[in-house]
Amino acid sequence: MNVYDELKKKLGKNRVKANYDLSNLQTMRVKTCAQMFFVAHSREDLIAAKKASLALNVPMIVLGGGSNMVFSKKVFPGLVVANRYIDREVLETDTDFVKLKVSSGYPTAKLVNETIEEGFAGLELFMGLPGTVGGAVVMNSKWSRPPVFFGDSLIAAEIIDDKGNLVKVDREYFGFSYGASRLQDEGSILLEAVFKLKKSASAALKKTAGDALAYRKESQPYGVNSSGCFFRNISVDDQKKLGLPTASAGYLIDKAGLKTIAVGDFCVSDKHANFIINAGRGKPEDLAKLVKIIKEKIKKKYGVDLIEEVIIA
Ligand X SMILES: Cc1cc2nc3c(=O)[nH]c(=O)nc-3n(C[C@H](O)[C@H](O)[C@H](O)COP(=O)(O)OP(=O)(O)OC[C@H]3O[C@@H](n4cnc5c(N)ncnc54)[C@H](O)[C@@H]3O)c2cc1C
Residue ranges binding ligand X (CB under 6 A): 27, 61-69, 83, 104, 129-132, 134-136, 138-139, 141-143, 179, 183, 189-190, 226-228, 311
Q: Is 159 helix (H, G, I), strand (E, B) or coil?
A: strand
**203/254 with CB nearer ligand X:** 254
Q: Environment class of residue 249 by beta-carbon count within 10 Å: exposed (0-12), middle (13-18) or buried (19+)?
A: buried
CB of 188 to ligand X, least distance (A): 7
In 3D space, the residue among 138, 93, 132 whose CA is nearest the CA of residue 111 turns out to be 132
Tell the smallest beta-carbon distance from residue 209 to ligand X (Å). 13
CB 282 within 8 A of CB 266: yes
Reply yes or no: is the peptide bond before residue 245 cis, omega within 30 of 0.
no
If the CB atoms of residues 42 and 242 are measured against ligand X, the closer one turns out to be: 42
Nearer residue to ligand X within complex by CB, 168 or 241: 168
Shortest approach of ligand X to residue 262 CB, angstroms? 19
CB of 250 vs ligand X, minimal distance in Å: 13
- For residues 283 and 309, the answer to whether their CB atoms sit within 8 Å is no
First-to-last alpha carbon distance for the chain, in angstroms, is 27
- Quote the least distance from Cβ 103 to ligand X, whole Å: 9
Residue 145 CB, shortest distance to ligand X, in Å, is: 10
- Nearer residue to ligand X within complex by CB, 71 or 120: 71
Closest CA to 306 of 266, 251, 259, 241: 251
Cβ distance to ligand X smaller for residue 72 or 242: 72
Q: Which is nearer to ligand X, 158 or 205 (CB)?
A: 158
User: What is the phi/psi pair of residue 79, to 5°?
Assistant: -105, 125
